[in-house]
Copies of this chain bind each other. A is one copy, B any other.
Amino acid sequence: MAQPSELEKAISTLVNQFHGASSNNSGTLKPDEFKSLVSSQMPNMLKGIGTEQGLGEILRKMGVADGEGISFKHFWNLIQSVATNQHSILAAAQKAGCSCLLL
């Protein structure tokens, strides 16, 4: 196997973080596990997780029904939304003449 690239490490990090947040290897996260994951891992890119209302809103946008466990597909919906947002920020900055990188 070739040495993992930065991009491959990034993909592995996303997958590993989801799996590492599950206490029972069930394949889904409980709401508390999800909240703990995003509170610690998305302090800058995801706002509003601190309140019940904010958490509920985020879960709805991810397609999670009431009382349902959070699957990797749900989690990925969130990652996609955040990445698309970051992409827009960077694209706008580049259009304005900044040859910058995120973070």
Contact = CB atoms under 8 A, between A and B. Distances in A.
Interface of A is mostly: helix
Contact of A11 (B15, B25, B86): B86
A7 B103 contact: no
B83 A15 contact: yes
A64 interface: no
Interface string A4-40: 1111111111111111100001010000000000001
Contacts of A91: 19, 27, 72
- Most chain B CB within 10 A, of A7, A14, A103, is at A7
Contacts of A2: 43-44
Interface of A: 1-2, 4-20, 25, 27, 40-45, 72-73, 76, 79-80, 82-84, 86-87, 90-91, 94-95, 99, 101-103
